[in-house]
Amino acid sequence: DQQVKQNSPSLSVQEGRISILNCDYTNSMFDYFLWYKKYPAEGPTFLISISSIKDKNEDGRFTVFLNKSAKHLSLHIVPSQPGDSAVYFCAASVSMTTDSWGKLQFGAGTQVVVTP
Amino acid sequence: KAGVTQTPRYLIKTRGQQVTLSCSPISGHRSVSWYQQTPGQGLQFLFEYFSETQRNKGNFPGRFSGRQFSNSRSEMNVSTLELGDSALYLCASSQMGVATEAFFGQGTRLTVV
């Protein structure tokens, strides 16, 4: 049961342009969302997060948008740089039920390639 | 501030053996979660420990177990290893384990032969 879905397995973008990564979820109890960047054989690196009480959060080149009614979030990277080439995962968690604490549900990831 | 440290980075074990992996969280973080990453299943939650207590457990067999010490360091143990246990094992630490950022270690690459 895939509760977090990243339907685009890959994305190619030119350096300097905007990268937009999308993520959909099915569990309406998710109330905290995170984006991670991952290189092969390494652990995920935290990028940015957003609580369900907000619809936008910004940190430098990274902005996350949350549309609760559509159960959709997106990550915008502006401008894209060659070092951004990696796999990006969105993750979601539930804070209201104790049996969900400490657990992140991950999407399958989107491979981003930034070309010069 | 030191990040999350996992040891060892790489392990090769034989089927039937057992293995113990270690995770030292960021100082001040009390929650440690463990995940398994495989090409076919992605990142799957194993369990979470907070203040030496297991609060949550994923859908893995009892061969997978863990514990947390008073200094928040955590260990994960896999007994009677199977070929399918070959994976990247990741731990993540956070302050409270809920509604907050979680930071991952570099992972332990386990290969079962």
* Residues of chain B where predicted confidence (pLDDT) is lower than 50: none
What average pLDDT does this structure show over A8-20? 97
Amino acid at residue number A40: P
Q: H/E/C letters for each residue in A56-87?
A: EEEECCEEEEEECCCCEEEEEECCCCHHHCEE
Write the pLDDT tens digit of every residue in A34-51. Answer: 999 999 878 999 999 999
Rounded to a whole number of angstroms, the distance from the CA of B66 to the nearest CA of chain A is 14
Residue B81: what pLDDT? Answer: 98
Q: How far apart are CA A87 and CA A37, in angstroms?
A: 6
Q: Report chain A's mean pLDDT, rounded to a whole number.
A: 94
Q: Which residues share a beta bridge with A73?
A: A23, A66
Residue B1: what pLDDT? Answer: 63
What are the residues of chain A with a beta carbon less than 8 Å away from any beta carbon of chain B?
A: 31-32, 34, 36, 41-46, 49, 51, 89, 91, 93, 95, 98-109
Q: How far apart are CA A76 and CA B70, in angstroms?
A: 40
Rounded to a whole number of angstroms, the distance from the CA of A40 to the nearest CA of chain B is 10
Write the pLDDT tens digit of every residue in A95-116. Answer: 878 778 889 999 999 999 999 9
Residue A102: what pLDDT? Answer: 87
Query: What chain A residue is nearest to B103 in terms of C-alpha separation?
Result: A46
Write the pLDDT tens digit of every residue in A69-104. Answer: 999 999 999 999 999 999 999 999 998 787 788 899
Cβ–Cβ below 8 Å for B104 and A44: yes
DSSP 3-state of A98: helix
Write the pLDDT tens digit of every residue in B77-109. Answer: 999 999 999 999 999 999 988 778 899 999 999
DSSP 3-state of A99: helix
pLDDT of residue A15 exceeding 90, the answer is yes
Q: How far apart are CA B37 and CA B45, in angstroms?
A: 9
Rounded to a whole number of angstroms, the distance from the CA of A37 to the nearest CA of chain B is 11
Answer yes or no: are the C-beta atoms of A16 and A78 closer than 8 Å: no
Residue A71: what pLDDT? Answer: 97
Residue appearing with tokens 């143990």: B77
Residue A112: what pLDDT? Answer: 98
Probe site for chain B from A7, A30, A96, A103 (most B CB atoms < 10 A): A103
Find the Cα–Cα–Cα–Cα dihedral B77, B81, B86, B88, rounded to 10°: 0
Give chain B positions within 8 Å (CB) of A100: 56, 98
Query: What chain B residue is nearest to A101 in terms of C-alpha separation?
Result: B98
**Closest CB from B33, B99, B104 relative to A103:** B33
pLDDT of residue A1 exceeding 80, the answer is no
